[in-house]
A and B are shown apart, each in its own frame.
Chain A
Amino acid sequence: MNDLIQNDTGAPENVSRRLLLKSAAGAGLLLAVTHSGNLFAQAATPAEAVEAVKYGGDSMPGGLVDNPLVFLSIGADGVVSVICHRSEMGQGVRTSIPMVVADELEADFKRVRVIQALGNEARYGNQNTDGSRSLRHSMDPLRRVGACGRMMLEAAAAAQWKVAPAEVQARNHELVHIPSGRKIGFGAVALAAAKLPIPGRETLKMKQPSQFRYIGKSDVALIDGVDIVRGRATYGTDVRLEGMVYAVVARAAVVGGKVRSFDSAAALKVPGVLRVIEIKSTPLPAGFNPLGGVAVVARNTWSAIKGREALVIEWDDGPNGGYDSVEYRKTLEAAARKPAKALRDEGKTMDVLAAAKKRVTAEYYLPHLAHATMEPPVATARIHDGLCEVWTSVQAPQAAVEIVAKHLGIKPEQVKVNVTLLGGGFGRKSKPDFAAEAALLSKAMGGKPVKVQWTREDDLQHDYYHAVSVQHFDSALDDAGKPTAWLHRSAAPTIRSTFVAGAKGLGAGEMGHTAINIPFQIPNIRIETPEVEAQTRIGWFRSVYNIPHAFGVQSFVAELAFAAKRDPKDYLLELIGPARRIDPRTLGDNTNYSESPERYPIDTGRMRGVIELAAKGARWGRKLPKGHGIGIAMAYSFMSYVAIAIEVAVDAKGAIRVVGVDTAIDCGPQVNPERIRSQLEGAVIMGMTLAMHGEISFKKGRAEQSNFHDHVLLRQSEAPHEIRVHLAPANYSVSPGGVGEPGLPPVAPALCNAIFAATGKRIRQLPIAQQLVPL
């Protein structure tokens, strides 16, 4: 173990060599003496016990934990260690979590370090790092962790000085006796503090937002920033263990396929190849099970890759061997043109449409997308003394524990998952099929450490793809150009099909992604989802079904505005209507991202606010040069409000250049505004990529794209030179919204609305690719 340093709880301090500070674990603790379960688990509090329905983090596996003894320890030298129980994939959570705790603790951030948690939801509560929920769910519990620690330190100092606890205040890593001015450092009373009772939640004194030192401030440097730029940070692919061997796997290209026979003779002659091992296929549904195939284990990755090239395998493609994107599009279109199950139905939409004088119809097609994280999936496992230990870059370490235990036939308690930095996630690394592969191969190698490295070709061929879809819209306009009816059919394979064989039709939660929960002031609304069967692994991709739904809704609103001869921004605002708070259940959305409808109403005032912010940034309404156009789009997702205005320039050859981007977010409270900005900037680039280039297509059950020559990502030369991010003022009186995903859904429709404004050409299928002919 040369790169990973263990701490006393067994959690790997696996990223930052700054952890080699002299004060590292062992220098005497500390709040972390023992812990006796989730003392502060929210579900256990009387107030919430009466509420039968659980929301937010409480509704997640493992719930929420706010026990300071779990998350916080303080060394005799005063160094504060904070557990990060979510995975770092670029969103900055390893910086933001300690910021929250340190703030309430009154710690000096320079003396705070972060320790990455093992996958252990019984101990840490929910660890899923997806759904834009890390801080949305954990901000309040983490504030309580910090406040608890602060009050325990204050009480310990008061006891030592024999003064009233109310006379002692924590201030910047010291305890101060206010009347006398006497001071003592955190470290000097940490051990005594740890022995005190933990204050009850109702007795906690939380800071007022005006007292925050770090929350909402932008001057905290990224905890891993220096290690990253020096090439010293440890990602999943960088794990090195004594005696480790390397594997690549030839997997069934078609989901549900399996190996019929194989010949390993040539592969075994490749220098460096050690073994060839078959991985048995698991029957569908795919779940997080490893795909079947043949693994080549070698002394290094290159030998394994060369060995795999020499394998001769005959495959049985199974039931999805005919999957063909051209044919599937026809299936989706046919489904989208027929009445289907309605998840929201107000008024008499079909009758009004049938009788309409002016009717506008549009259909949008969005293909499958691949996550294409820069670090392809990778995992390392070893088995010793009945314990399987895994090092990997996963967004859901508990899911990795469970799938490894299942495939090894051992108990979850016998699996230890160490979370490294993730070289990108975007939802792909929530699905830990690769962790199970590493565990199975280690077992086959007698417990030897095995690293399974996916190549880019593997990554694009074996993704859990973002769903392909057809979005069908139909509307009637009155004489004033206002819609009197709105029909939206979303035809797409459901993510549930990955877990439930044959599942068809989008679920309520999936349709709650900008389809059924639109707050438009239209008297007749009908939202449907036809049943279509998936033929590959469908998985969540950053912002999930908000991508096709926001693209459809926000493109179609602009199309209606054009039909009504209205300014698209004014028209969008008019559809949203005046500022009000809407209970999502009244719109037929009983899911609401699993959040409480009371804590998280749909706030049209906040929608209007971000639209105005983006429009102002773009100086909406100004005269533009020839070939330029500005488009606008808004989407509410993961409890945050984002609007984007994009200015494009389209040249005589039909080439698109994005010359201006104004993206505005209202996410309520802000922990790390600097990282909110970077997430929004990144979402613009990812949104441009999917709009301009993103597509995975299938032929004979196989993805047709294999690497970055035919699966194009936006490059520096295509990227805007500036992205203006506008943050609505932080608002701590509302519950936190997500940040990682909400920036993405409005990008593609804003871009296509801009292209329409510039050229009059309406883009109804993505990617835009070569659709723009010379003007």
Chain B
Amino acid sequence: MTTLTINGKAHTVGVPEDTPLLWALRDELGLTGTKFGCGMGLCGACTIHIDGVAVRSCITPISAAGGKQINTIEHAEHDKTGAALQAAWVEAGVPQCGYCQGGQIMSAMALLKRTPKPNDGDIDEAMSGNLCRCGTYTRIRAAIKKVANVTASTGGKA
């Protein structure tokens, strides 16, 4: 049995230690906001935060997450930056099919926490691991910039 702290709560899962967090979250715990897209850390649909760092849960075994703070997209609305990004996403009409957007938002959150006022190069670096087949990249970039500006202009309030 492995104990995981997810979105502030302790959960116990009885699956082998090499099981990727993605499948523990989705199949064992019912947290389906984290999506499967490739299983190789190539598409970013499964992005979560471990101790505030964006990681691909499809290639992160549960054994690597014991004792750490795991946050998923379901928790983003309880975070100032996360909520601001979600609001900006809705306002800009970013999602098309929406399947990748949870992962996109998790990557954007990690970016803005690290780099509150990112330039285009920062956005490229932080967001290029997240694929979107519908092609919402321009709106994603615009939404991130919008949140970053709001953060700056209101002295840190997002």
Contacts and interface: CB of A to CB of B under 8 A. Distances in A.
Interface of A: 2-3, 88-92, 221-222, 224-226, 228-235, 237-238, 240, 246, 271-272, 299-303, 305, 372-376, 421-426, 453, 455-457, 674-675, 678-679, 681-686, 689, 707-709, 713-717, 719-723
Contacts of B135: 681-686, 689, 714, 719
B42 interface: yes
Given A228-B95, A426-B133, A709 B138 contact: no
B95 A713 contact: no
Contacts of A91: 96
Nearest to B40: A707
B51 interface: no
B54 interface: no
Contacts of A233: 98
A424 B134 CA distance: 7
B32 A228 contact: no
B124 A708 contact: no
Contacts of A89: 97
Contacts of B101: 228-229
Contacts of B112: none
B136 interface: yes
B38 A375 contact: no
The CB with the most chain B CB atoms within 10 A, among A238, A271, A302, A684, is that of: A302
Given A232-B74, A238-B32, A685-B134, 11 more contacts: A224-B98, A225-B93, A225-B95, A231-B102, A234-B32, A374-B100, A421-B97, A707-B38, A709-B40, A714-B137, A722-B138
Contacts of A374: 35, 37, 43, 45, 97, 99-100, 131-134
13 contacts: A221-B90, A231-B72, A232-B33, A238-B32, A272-B16, A299-B27, A423-B99, A423-B100, A678-B93, A686-B133, A708-B38, A714-B137, A719-B137
A682 B94 CA distance: 11
B73 A230 contact: yes
B86 A682 contact: no
Contact of B128 (A301, A678, A684, A716): A716
B133 A302 contact: no
A707 B86 CA distance: 29
Interface string B42-64: 11010000000000000000000
A507 B77 CA distance: 52
The DSSP consensus for interface residues of chain A is loop
Contacts of B132: 374, 685
Nearest to A426: B133
A135 to B, nearest CB: 16
A671 to B, nearest CB: 15
A229 B42 contact: no
A682 B27 contact: no
A716 B133 contact: no
B44 to A, nearest CB: 10
A442 B138 CA distance: 42
Instruction: Using C-beta atoms within 8 Å of the partner chain, give the interface range for chain B.
Output: 35 or more
B76 interface: yes
The CB with the most chain B CB atoms within 10 A, among A237, A305, A422, A719, is that of: A719
Nearest to A298: B27
A231 B134 contact: no
Contacts of A232: 33, 74
Interface in B67-112: 72-74, 76-77, 85-86, 89-90, 93-102, 105
A424 B37 CA distance: 11
Contacts of B4: none
A221 B89 CA distance: 11
Contacts of A272: 15-16
A90 B134 contact: yes
B131 A231 contact: no
Q: Which 3 A-B pairs have the closest CB atoms?
A: A231-B33, A685-B135, A423-B99
Contacts of B136: 678, 681-682, 685
Given A246-B27, A302-B15, A302-B27, A713 B133 contact: yes
B146 interface: no
A303 B18 CA distance: 10
Given A225-B93, A230-B33, A421-B98, A301 B141 contact: no
Contacts of B19: 300, 302
A597 B40 CA distance: 49
Nearest to B127: A716
Contacts of B33: 230-232
A372 B39 CA distance: 14
A222 B95 contact: yes
Nearest to A225: B90
Interface string B121-145: 0011101111111111111110000
A231 B76 contact: yes
Nearest to B98: A228
Contact of B23 (A230, A302, A681): A302
A716 B102 contact: no
Contact of A240 (B32, B34, B95, B134): B32
A230 B77 contact: yes
A89 B99 CA distance: 9
B99 A375 contact: yes
